[in-house]
Amino acid sequence: MSALKQAVSVTAMNLRSIGERRGTALVAVVGIAGVVAVLIGIFSINEGFRSVLELSGADDVAIVLRGGGTDEMTSGLSQETTRIIGDAAGVLRKDGTPVSSAELYVLVDVPLKSTGTPANVPLRGVGPQAGSLRQGFHLIEGRMFTPGTNEVIVGRGAAEQFVGLSVGSDLRQGTSVWRIVGVFADKGSVAESEIWSDAVVLQGAYNRGTSYQSTRVRLESAAALQTFKDALTSDPRVNVRVQTEREYYAQQARALVALVTILGRAIAVLMGIAAIFGALNTMYSAVSSRAKEIATLRAIGFGAFPVVTSVLVEALLLGLVGGAVGGLIAYVGFDGLRASTMNISSFSQITFAFTVTPALLSQSLVYALALGFVGGLTPSVRAARLPITIGLRDA
């Protein structure tokens, strides 16, 4: 009989005996499933956060900050500068008016629904065309705020995650009271984590004079970015930094994505070690319980290769089952779950949905198989090297 046929025969016998060792096999499956579920949960934060920022970015919308500013919190623009930005070459115009919005940005404390603890929520002062500069802005409840009043509209994500942000409620911040008159959606973008007010009213409430922090403009096309950028960088009246929305949000995503990736990998190593010990225990138990059978097979001419193969296949199968169970648990438990986290770049809360992607499930399944393989490698070698006489005697 060829080595391959021997391997198939021995593996089949081995798998049929799993039921007799279901207790130890279950330990390995549960351990690997737990690791996979936790890892998918952690990395689905990355995917959700990345998705929010990718949805927020457009190639034909530019964000202009003060020269040297890395984000809106470190930027400042005068009213004259925002006018020059809107009049620059490459900006789309409708009825002779540039499609632009000079905006400012403050943080307000609003309690989280989940914990009751205060969190930084962005309160953004916007211009009349702010909605048309977002890709999918539309009101889902109530109405738009009236310019010149202390009325605000709230993003859908913020309304779901924070206390007291429903239509008709009052948001009290310092000496100011803001009346919530609407809730808006924007295809899941970062804007849904914000509260919007009239920019001029917000300037007065926070003693900002006539200053802004950023200006958004819609370009004639994505290809017009260089024309727009050249017009501003060559103008001696302004000192600004120009980026597309996509570039700006990709830059903001890097810090949190890097942090979660490092954390996830560290947890993968630590929990993986524990899962490997579970698999080792299971496979050593399998080898021990089959010592006589293995010795008998070796005595009648079966080689070491079929023995090694049978143990490794069982270990891989346990890893596969554990990975599949863990992936299913993570998908049911995490996918679409809404939460909020700190945007490290702006020190504000951003709402997002955990996103369990097919790629993430596939990677986790490969990791589960790797855990099973490592857990079965040493026991399989031990089984193959077990002297025939010792195996028959110990049994």
Separation between Cα atoms, residue 290 and residue 275, nearest integer Å: 23
pTM here is 0.72
Judgement on whether residues 16 and 103 belong to the same structural domain of the protein: no
Q: What is the pLDDT of residue 88?
A: 94
Q: Which residues pair with 65 in a beta bridge?
A: 241
As given in the structure block, the two tokens for residue 356 are 């369990």
Please check whether residue 60 lies inside any domain of the structure. no
Residue 329 CB contacts under 8 Å (≥ 6 apart), including other chains: 33, 37
Please check whether residue 63 lies inside any domain of the structure. no
Judgement on whether residues 215 and 319 belong to the same structural domain of the protein: no
Judgement on whether residues 296 and 191 belong to the same structural domain of the protein: no
Q: What is the pLDDT of residue 129?
A: 93
3-state helix, strand, coil in the chain (%, to 5): 55, 20, 25
Q: What is the pLDDT of residue 57?
A: 77
Judgement on whether residues 354 and 263 belong to the same structural domain of the protein: yes
pLDDT in tens, 143-161: 999 999 999 999 999 999 9
Please check whether residue 390 lies inside any domain of the structure. yes
Domain end (from 238, 260, 277) = 238
Judgement on whether residues 226 and 123 belong to the same structural domain of the protein: yes
| Reported confidence tier of residue 231, pLDDT bands at 50, 70, 90 | very high
Judgement on whether residues 338 and 221 belong to the same structural domain of the protein: no
Strands (E), the chain: 61-66, 93-94, 97-98, 100-111, 118-126, 138-142, 151-155, 170-173, 176-185, 195-198, 214-218, 240-244, 338-343, 348-353
With a cut of 60, say whether residue 391 has pLDDT above it.
no
The mean pLDDT of the chain is 83
Judgement on whether residues 72 and 180 belong to the same structural domain of the protein: yes
Judgement on whether residues 38 and 100 belong to the same structural domain of the protein: no
What are the backbone angles phi and psi of residue 236, rounded to the nearest 5°?
-70, -10
Please check whether residue 174 lies inside any domain of the structure. yes
Please check whether residue 317 lies inside any domain of the structure. yes
| Percent of the chain whose pLDDT exceeds 70 | 82
Please check whether residue 299 lies inside any domain of the structure. yes
Residue 327 CB contacts under 8 Å (≥ 6 apart), including other chains: 36, 37, 40, 361, 364, 365
pLDDT in tens, 57-98: 788 999 999 998 888 888 999 999 999 999 999 999 998 899
Please check whether residue 157 lies inside any domain of the structure. yes
Judgement on whether residues 219 and 190 belong to the same structural domain of the protein: yes
Q: What is the pLDDT of residue 98?
A: 93
CB 145 within 8 A of CB 196: yes
Q: What is the pLDDT of residue 133?
A: 92
Separation between Cα atoms, residue 130 and residue 99, nearest integer Å: 9
| Reported confidence tier of residue 308, pLDDT bands at 50, 70, 90 | confident
Q: Residue 73, class by beta-carbon neighbours within 10 Å (0-12 exposed, 13-18 middle, 19+ buried)?
A: middle
Domain end (from 206, 238, 270) = 238
Q: Which residue has the higher pLDDT, 155 or 384?
A: 155
- As for how many domains the chain has, the answer is 2
Q: Which residue has the higher pLDDT, 57 or 358?
A: 358
Judgement on whether residues 123 and 152 belong to the same structural domain of the protein: yes
Judgement on whether residues 257 and 167 belong to the same structural domain of the protein: no
pLDDT in tens, 117-138: 888 899 999 999 999 998 889 9
Please check whether residue 59 lies inside any domain of the structure. no
CB 164 within 8 A of CB 211: no
Separation between Cα atoms, residue 40 and residue 320, nearest integer Å: 15
Nearest Cα to 208, choosing from 102, 104, 71, 101?
104
Domain end (from 207, 238, 269) = 238
Judgement on whether residues 83 and 227 belong to the same structural domain of the protein: yes
Q: Where in the sequence is the domain holding 275, given as residue range(s)?
A: 3-54+252-394
| Percent of the chain whose pLDDT exceeds 90 | 40
With a cut of 60, say whether residue 281 has pLDDT above it.
yes
- Say if strands 195-198 and 118-126 run parallel, antiparallel, or are unpaired: parallel
Separation between Cα atoms, residue 86 and residue 98, nearest integer Å: 6
